[in-house]
């Protein structure tokens, strides 16, 4: 079996309604735009797909296919995923591929493998579980009072844990974090995501507040360019750090955070930002060797598969937005996400796909991608 064709299918993704904001300095929710689906076809009829939900990725992926990827992939054995994963990294050396596209070929190949076996990809990866709790991951709200209201709604909807995305002001964020702990009590797991908003002194200030309030993890308080800064933060605060989310290099970069003692809770794993399923699984196994967690970053269907395949992850991340909030499609009243049952990975439902992609659309969820 050989790869016979590689296609890019642009797909319109709607804007989020109502729109939301992130911390000060970051852009808010994306507007309507053109995402991309990569489709890999073989000479024996087996196919695989993968979606990049980033707006604008359709143009970038089409260009990469025409200039580089089609001639690299056509004629290759689609089951040699390991070799092709290494080949993508070789190409990245000169092309500096966008991080969110680096793992797209790998994800499509794992989708193909699942469809070839007529099994969901999480089982092909090596299944570990069939359900996992989802935490409510907030967008940024206007006041402490609104955050407390959102927390009440999340718990009422069945979410067992809550993660804050706040304003990017260390002192204001610290007051919010303490107020949320006092509001929900000691038994609700709480996490904080800094979205890389702080320098080291402010990250330490907020970290002390999170430590005192018993937060489960403290995520990406600074840009992940300096492992040394993260090491100093880890030495200064007691709250465990969850790191290596957006830094380039997949497991290779995660290893430096771990070796330095900066990943005191664990590292991030995802298909979009850690080089597809192969990079994410390598990251998880690396973390497991040090008895650390590999927390899966972000919603979407590929990450549901990751959650079911990785032993050392705790939760599925479910973004909650607007007010009132609602439960993400596919999460039950007890806050559990259940393992996908269809073959391969699947594309998210609710979008206007061309006919060639209709057979790949997920039948279990209805929520369009938000990233």
pLDDT digits (tens, 9 = 90+) for 118-158: 999 999 999 999 999 999 999 999 999 999 999 999 999 99
Rg (the chain; Cα; Å): 20
Residue 370 maps to a domain? no
Model's pTM, two decimal places?
A: 0.95
How high is the pLDDT of residue 366?
54
Structural domain containing residue 230 = 123-338
How high is the pLDDT of residue 17?
86
Q: Which of 57, 80, 84 has the alpha carbon at shortest distance from 72?
A: 84
Claim to verify: residue 104 and residue 127 sit in the same structural domain? no
Residues in the chain: 371
Claim to verify: residue 131 and residue 253 sit in the same structural domain? yes
Claim to verify: residue 313 and residue 172 sit in the same structural domain? yes
For the beta carbon of residue 55, count every other beta carbon within 10 angstroms.
17
Q: What angle do CA 49, 53, 58 make, to 5 degrees?
A: 75
How high is the pLDDT of residue 35?
94
How high is the pLDDT of residue 371?
47
User: H or E stretch including 255?
Assistant: helix 250-259
The total of structural domains in the chain comes to 2
Q: What percentage of the chain carries pLDDT values higher than 90?
A: 95
Claim to verify: residue 140 and residue 287 sit in the same structural domain? yes
In sequence order, which residues have a C-beta less than 8 Å from that of residue 176 and are 6 or more positions away? 144, 147, 164, 166, 167
Claim to verify: residue 133 and residue 73 sit in the same structural domain? no
Residue 349 maps to a domain? no
Q: What is the CATH number of the domain that holds 131?
A: 3.20.20.120
Residue 147 maps to a domain? yes
Q: What percentage of the chain carries pLDDT values higher than 70?
A: 98
Q: What is the CATH number of the domain that holds 72?
A: 3.30.390.10
User: H or E stretch including 163?
Assistant: strand 162-165
pLDDT tens-place string over residues 217-253: 999 999 999 999 999 999 999 999 999 999 999 999 9
Q: Residue 184 in contact with residue 198, Cβ under 8 Å?
A: no
Mean pLDDT of all residues belonging to the chain = 95
Claim to verify: residue 79 and residue 218 sit in the same structural domain? no
Claim to verify: residue 159 and residue 251 sit in the same structural domain? yes
For the chain, the farthest-separated pair of C-alpha atoms sits apart, in whole angstroms, at: 61
Claim to verify: residue 308 and residue 246 sit in the same structural domain? yes
Residue 362 maps to a domain? no
Rounded CA separation 209/174 (Å)? 6
CA quadruple 151, 153, 157, 158: dihedral sign: positive
Residue 77 maps to a domain? yes
Claim to verify: residue 154 and residue 168 sit in the same structural domain? yes
Residue 345 maps to a domain? no
Rounded CA separation 111/155 (Å)? 34
């Amino acid at each position: 079996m050989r790869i016979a064709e590689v296609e890019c299918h642009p797909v319109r993704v709607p804007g989020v309604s109502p729109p939301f904001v992130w911390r000060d300095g970051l852009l808010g929710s994306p507007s309507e735009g053109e995402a991309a689906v990569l489709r890999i076809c073989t000479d024996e009829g087996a196919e695989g797909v993968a979606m990049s939900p980033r707006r604008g990725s359709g143009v970038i992926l089409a260009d990469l296919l025409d200039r580089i990827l089609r001639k690299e992939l056509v004629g290759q054995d689609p089951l040699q995923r390991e070799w092709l994963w290494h080949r993508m990294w070789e190409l990245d050396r000169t092309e500096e591929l966008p991080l969110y596209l680096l793992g797209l070929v790998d994800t499509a190949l794992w989708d193909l493998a699942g469809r070839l076996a007529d099994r969901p990809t999480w089982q092909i990866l090596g299944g570990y579980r069939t359900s996992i709790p989802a935490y409510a991951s907030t967008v940024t709200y206007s006041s402490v009072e609104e955050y407390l209201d959102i927390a009440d709604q999340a718990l009422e909807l069945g979410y067992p844990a809550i993660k804050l995305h706040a304003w990017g002001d260390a002192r204001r964020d610290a007051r919010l974090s303490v107020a949320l702990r006092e509001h929900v009590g000691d038994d609700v797991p709480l996490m904080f995501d800094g979205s890389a908003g702080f320098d080291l002194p402010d990250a330490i200030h907020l970290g002390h507040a999170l430590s005192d309030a018993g937060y489960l993890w403290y995520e990406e308080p600074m840009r992940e360019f300096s492992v040394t800064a993260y090491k100093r933060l880890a030495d200064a605060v007691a709250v465990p750090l969850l790191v290596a989310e957006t830094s380039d290099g997949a497991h290779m970069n995660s290893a430096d955070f771990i070796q330095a003692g900066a990943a005191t809770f664990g590292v991030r794993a995802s298909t979009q930002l850690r080089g597809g399923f192969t990079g994410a699984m390598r990251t998880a196994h690396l973390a497991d060797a040090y008895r650390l967690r590999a927390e899966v970053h972000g919603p979407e269907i590929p990450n549901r598969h990751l959650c079911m395949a990785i032993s050392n992850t705790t939760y599925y991340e479910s973004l909650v937005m607007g007010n009132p909030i609602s439960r993400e499609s596919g999460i039950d009243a007890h806050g559990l996400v259940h393992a996908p049952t269809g073959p391969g990975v699947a594309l998210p439902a609710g979008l206007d796909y061309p006919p060639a992609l209709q057979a790949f659309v997920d039948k279990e969820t209805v929520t369009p991608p938000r990233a």
